[in-house]
Amino acid sequence: MSIGKLTKSLPLNSDASIALILIMNVFSWYFPLYIFLTDNLKDVGIGYLESLVIFGSHIIAVLLSAMIGTKLAEKFASRRTLLVIWALLGILSSSFLFVLRSGDLLGISAVAISIGIALGFGLPTCLAYFADSTGTESRGRVSGLTFFVAHLGMLSIGFLAIVVSFLGSVIIFTAWRAVGLVAFAIEKRKIEAQKEIKTNFRAIVSERSLVLYLIPWIMFCLINFFEYPLQQFYWGIEASSIVTTVEFGIASVSALIGGYFADAVGRKRLVISGYVLLGIGYALLSISPIYPIFIGVWTILDGIAWGLFALIFFTVIWGDIARDKMKERYYFLGALPFLISSYVSVIIAPYVEAISISASFSLASFFLFLAVLPLMYAPETLPEKEIKKKELKDYLDKAKRVKEKYT
């Protein structure tokens, strides 16, 4: 299946193109930057308690700024102003990275907080803008293309940050976040907020469809960030980094292909497939956690699942569930499990030696298979008529090819 076929007939209007650039830019900026921050804290000898303070303040800054940004988005006549401020905050916070080498806890915490604000402030608005710019019938394919490019960007920026000097890395992160402003230079008109129904968090969390998708997403995030320090300890940091890099490459292709199938067969089947693949992968690791072949199979399965989950849980499913309502709050709630669970890796880091890796992988496999249960009762968010339309189109295309073959 070629990239051309996967992205064929994508309705990439100016709004969708801007949203694609913004999401690609912020994801490929933040994730390598987070790793860069972590590595530099180790280099300057920051201890466990200091790490708890730094990363705790970072996550709180992300959550509070995202909440503030969500509130402001409901008051702004145009999203453009808020998104421009968001991009400028990212540029400014990147230029503060020099403080990391000082070893000063207060200064490093300030940098971590500034990065958190620069991520959270406009993220729900950006994702909501993306959902409003793409129709339900094409949101999967556009998301797949977005994450394909974003994953390649993460690999590229992460690699450059490793091979260049500290100063060079700071310049790269600052310059790359500035690329987000290119989207606004391309399109100078106002980015209008849609005329949508306002709703509150209490009403949103009482929606059955949101809860049924949110529960397995929470379970995956907790398992993922719990297992990561164990992998680093038992496999070694270098081997774990290689595995992560390979996974990013696999996830980029998985997101692109998954986007096509998300619009063809629906979101629910893809999510269930991802959990089943992960359950199998962790089950293999529980048999022999350090056997290279099992690690290789798990890496492939985890990479595929990550591509599907990034596609569905970051951009697609919450916009589908929101429908004609304001989507910022839905995306805020959807991002919470990932952001909060990331702190688990920091908390358990000193205790990994006391945890049995085989038992841990066995429990991970069990809970991942268990996570499928809520999904069995979750509704399919892609309209049935779109699935039938795609099946009919595929049938007609196949019939046409058969006719051409025999005439």
Per residue in 18-41, pLDDT (tens digit) is: 888 999 999 999 999 998 988 888
pLDDT band (50, 70, 90) for residue 188: low
Residue 108 lies inside a defined structural domain of this protein:
yes
pLDDT at residue 135, as a whole number: 83
Averaged over 327-345, what is the pLDDT?
Answer: 93
Same domain membership, residue 117 and residue 237: no
Residue 112 in tokens: 């971590």
* Helix/strand/coil for 78: strand
- The domain in which residue 93 lies consists of 12-192
Average pLDDT over the chain, rounded to whole? 86
Instruction: Provide φ and ψ at 333, rounded to 5°.
Output: -65, -35
Residue 30 in tokens: 């933040």
Averaged over 222-247, what is the pLDDT?
Answer: 90
Residue 1 lies inside a defined structural domain of this protein:
no
Among 31-35, 83-87, 132-136, 394-398, name the one with the lowest average pLDDT.
394-398
Closest CA to 360 of 373, 336, 344: 344
Contacts of 193 (CB under 8 A, 6+ apart): 73, 76, 77, 78, 79, 132, 326
Averaged over 142-155, what is the pLDDT?
Answer: 91
What is the spatial distance between Cα 123 and Cα 26, in angstroms, rounded to a whole number?
9
For residue range 99-131, list pLDDT tens digits in order.
887 777 888 899 999 999 999 999 999 999 999
pLDDT above 80 (res 193) = no
Q: How many domains does the chain have?
A: 2
- b/e code 283-308 from CB counts within 10 Å (16+ = b): bbbbeebeeeebbeebbebbbbbbbb
Residue 353 lies inside a defined structural domain of this protein:
yes
Instruction: Provide φ and ψ at 385, rounded to 5°.
Output: -65, -30
pLDDT at residue 194, as a whole number: 54
> Which segments of 187-266 does DSSP mark as H helices, in order?
201-205, 208-235, 237-264
pLDDT at residue 187, as a whole number: 61
Same domain membership, residue 253 and residue 154: no
pLDDT band (50, 70, 90) for residue 94: very high
CATH number of 100's domain: 1.20.1250.20
Per the CB < 8 A criterion, the answer to whether 107 and 131 are in contact is: no
Averaged over 274-283, what is the pLDDT?
Answer: 93
Residue 5 lies inside a defined structural domain of this protein:
no
Contacts of 70 (CB under 8 A, 6+ apart): 124, 125, 328, 329, 332
What is the spatial distance between Cα 355 and Cα 344, in angstroms, rounded to a whole number?
14
Same domain membership, residue 214 and residue 113: no
pLDDT at residue 223, as a whole number: 93
What is the spatial distance between Cα 17 and Cα 142, in angstroms, rounded to a whole number?
9
pLDDT above 60 (res 55) = yes
Averaged over 278-292, what is the pLDDT?
Answer: 90
Same domain membership, residue 46 and residue 178: yes
pLDDT at residue 392, as a whole number: 60
Of 192, 218, 248, which residue constitutes the final position of a domain? 192
pLDDT above 80 (res 405) = no
Count the neighbouring beta carbons within 10 Å of the beta carbon of residue 377: 9
Same domain membership, residue 100 and residue 225: no
Residue 6 lies inside a defined structural domain of this protein:
no
Same domain membership, residue 235 and residue 165: no
Residue 7 lies inside a defined structural domain of this protein:
no
Of 166, 192, 218, which residue constitutes the final position of a domain? 192
Residue 3 lies inside a defined structural domain of this protein:
no
Same domain membership, residue 218 and residue 353: yes
Same domain membership, residue 231 and residue 307: yes
pLDDT at residue 318, as a whole number: 94
Same domain membership, residue 285 and residue 155: no
Same domain membership, residue 163 and residue 265: no
For residue range 372-386, list pLDDT tens digits in order.
999 999 999 887 766
pLDDT above 70 (res 171) = yes
Averaged over 129-145, what is the pLDDT?
Answer: 89
Same domain membership, residue 272 and residue 239: yes
Q: Vertex 11, ends 6 and 14: CA angle to 5°?
A: 125
pLDDT at residue 283, as a whole number: 92
pLDDT band (50, 70, 90) for residue 347: very high
Same domain membership, residue 221 and residue 155: no
* Torsion from C-alpha of 52, 56, 59, 62, nearest 10 degrees: -130
pLDDT above 70 (res 395) = no
pLDDT band (50, 70, 90) for residue 367: very high
pLDDT above 80 (res 44) = no
pLDDT band (50, 70, 90) for residue 147: very high
pLDDT at residue 323, as a whole number: 87
Residue 253 lies inside a defined structural domain of this protein:
yes
pLDDT at residue 258, as a whole number: 94
pLDDT above 80 (res 73) = yes
SS3 content of the chain, % helix, strand, coil (to 5): 85, 0, 15
Of 192, 219, 251, which residue constitutes the final position of a domain? 192
